[in-house]
Amino acid sequence: MSQLKGKKAIVTGVSKGIGLHIALQLLEQGVKVVGWSRSQPDITHDDFHFVETDVADLDSVESAYSETTNLIGEDIHILINNAGYGIAGAIDELPIEDWKGMFDVNVHGLMYCTRAVVPQMKKMDQGHIVNISSIAGLNPVKNMSGYAATKHAVTGFGHSLFMELRDWGIKVTNVYPGSVKTNFFDDFDGIDAHDNMMRPEDVAKSVVDLLDSHPNLLPVDLELRPLRPKGKQ
């Protein structure tokens, strides 16, 4: 039997892609889920609530957390930091606003959401925070220095946080997906999502499986790659 039944979760970036599928699969496991994003997802379920949230705005996050606790209570067991985006561009061509925008969502927003849930998780002496990073958080990526910089920041944040919070029984896991078939690539010239990429539902299942791990098992990093990203050679 799943250990997740009856737990409560916040999933950011829930409107589509990996976040949407994580929310759906958690609901299947009996988890009460509150989704945070700017757009409402196509989810109809008695245990799902949506709170419109801009994670890059501290006031929006604090308001969302207050509304969430009013909806399902303060005992939030799981935070999925999934909200994020990337913009490609050579460093001398990438607009400064795009650089700052990626840091505001991918780094500052992740920190705002984490700060919101940690005090109550400490009181509960349990919790699990999952940061959906990217393979760009481990490896360099040509013409994506801004995005890679944000994801390397997530790597350092998550690793430091797990050392900081483990004495309170709080797990912290960084997940590094490679290419996933989502709309992430819609604005990238010459790159399209294709069938050799991983499916978002499969990445989501890997996340839900680690959330359902033994209480004394701490999965620090999970790296996921497509088997044949360029197809059969």
Known catalytic residues? 147
Task: Say if CB 81 and CB 114 are below 8 A apart.
Answer: yes
* Separation of alpha carbons 109 and 107, rounded Å: 6
Task: Say if CB 127 and CB 170 are below 8 A apart.
Answer: yes
Task: Say if CB 126 and CB 170 are below 8 A apart.
Answer: yes
Using alpha carbons, list the distances in angstroms from residue 172 to 45, 78, 125, 186.
28, 10, 13, 30
- Helix, strand, coil shares of the chain, percent, nearest 5, are 40, 15, 40
